[in-house]
Chains A and B, each alone.
Chain A
Amino acid sequence: GENVEQHPSTLSVQEGDSAVIKCTYSDSASNYFPWYKQELGKRPQLIIDIRSNVGEKKDQRIAVTLNKTAKHFSLHITETQPEDSAVYFCAAHSNTGNQFYFGTGTSLTVIP
């Protein structure tokens, strides 16, 4: 089955700086990669996703890049703000399977 690894597990940045979170996957059939933000005690919220037919997608301060050859994808948050502080999870899914495989999460702290 698929194996998704996520790094780093914790990340602290100064307000206004950029944050990058990286994930790797093992199953070359995976073709859909969502990112979720989870605040303490809340539900995971989809913030951006990318499909394997594109290499990059951007939504305001958030962008995701995908390298299918290397089997890795990354979340980029620019001009970070304190409200970006949360745990971020990557996931991978294949149309040939049923499960979404989640990374172990990155706890992001934005220091004012």
Chain B
Amino acid sequence: NAGVMQNPRHLVRRRGQEARLRCSPMKGHSHVYWYRQLPEEGLKFMVYLQKENIIDESGMPKERFSAEFPKEGPSILRIQQVVRGDSAAYFCASSPNLAGVTDTQYFGPGTRLTVL
């Protein structure tokens, strides 16, 4: 059973370009979380999605950032018009999220975004 997959692992963008980060959850997992981690800092929640539905996006900046988790294919975190402050590691995590039970989330390897 493959773990959570993320690609690309490293992404370099110039200011003003767009960044697309992809996350494929573990098999059987229908819920995805995205986090941002700055160097030597903790994990900051951004958004929580299930298939075709955003559950909670309270941690995601209102401008330039968007996320989706379509019925088919990976979850995508999209950052438009990137700025240097967007440079960070972006992790996704997936969980099966069975009804009524908080389930463990498993993390992907992360995408390290560098904005020049």
Residues of A within 8 A of B (CB): 31-32, 34, 36, 42-46, 49, 51, 89, 93-95, 98-105
- Known contacts: A43-B109, A44-B91. The answer to whether A32 contacts B43 by CB under 8 A is no
* Interface magnitude class on chain B: 20 to 34
Residues in chain A near residue B91, CB distance under 8 A: 43-44
A-B pairs, top 7 by smallest CB distance, nearest first, are A98-B56, A32-B102, A43-B107, A104-B42, A102-B43, A44-B107, A99-B45
Asked if B102 contacts A93 (CB within 8 A), the reply is yes
Minimal beta-carbon separation of A35 from chain B (angstroms):
11
Main secondary structure of the interface of B (DSSP, over half): loop
Pairwise interchain contact A100-B100, C-beta atoms closer than 8 A: no
Residue with the greatest number of chain A CB neighbours at <10 A, chosen from B42, B44, B59, B109: B42
Q: Is B108 an interface residue (CB 8 A)?
A: yes
Using A43-B110, A100-B33 as known contacts, say yes or no to A95 and B102 having CB atoms under 8 A apart.
yes
Q: Is B69 an interface residue (CB 8 A)?
A: no
Q: Is the CB of B109 within 8 A of A98?
A: no
Encode contact with A along B41-84: 1 for CB under 8 Å, 0 otherwise.
Answer: 11111001000000110110000000000000000000000000
A95-B100, A98-B56, A99-B59 known; A46+B45 contact, CB < 8 A: no
* Cβ–Cβ contact B104 & A46, under 8 A: yes
